Amino acid sequence: MPRERVIEIDGSRVHGIPSLYAELNRVFMPGESWALGESLDALDDLLYGGFGVLDGSEPVRVRWRDAATARTALGIETTKAYLRQKLARPEVYATAPAQRALHELEAGRGETYFDLVVRVFRDHANIELILE
């Protein structure tokens, strides 16, 4: 029986969105000549596998150590800044979804960037994400 693979993310390395993707590249893309961009869509593509350390639909356990540090770093203020950057570039991003997300955050109901990243991981049935 094949052993399930375990990959560890170090949440203490995450201090914002750029450092999150630096950590994801360190963990998932060693030896690649290119890096994953700062994008939830790029993260989703990575988790489908086929490049980096993932081979597709193989079962993988991802342990996110010190997730609390990352949760704080990718919290409400970081997410608001991320959404405001999208709103400032209407030629690139659809502003209506970003405006709705910002409104939800300001009302105390929205998802943080950390929540969005966790959701991307959990959308992949072969990946078990463990927040520690």
Query: Who's near 57: CB < 8 A, 6+ residues apart?
Result: 49, 126
CB 53 within 8 A of CB 29: yes
| Interval 35-47: pLDDT, tens | 999 999 999 999 9
Distance CA 1, CA 47 (A): 23
Q: Taking 70 as the threshold, does the pLDDT of residue 3 lie above it?
A: no
pTM of the model: 0.94
To which residue do tokens 């030629």 refer?
91
Continuous segment of H or E residues that includes residue 118: helix 113-122
Average pLDDT over residues 71-93: 97
Name the residue among 14, 98, 100 with its Cα closest to residue 64.
14
Query: Who's near 130: CB < 8 A, 6+ residues apart?
Result: 61, 62, 63, 64
Continuous segment of H or E residues that includes residue 61: strand 60-65
Question: Residues of the chain with pLDDT > 90: what percent?
Answer: 91
Ordered domains of the chain (ranges, CATH): 1-71+124-132 (3.30.370.10)
Pairing mode, if any, of strands 127-131 and 60-65?
parallel
88 band by pLDDT with thresholds 50, 70 and 90: very high
Q: Own/partner pairs for 82-90, CB < 8 Å, 24+ apart?
A: 82/17, 82/113
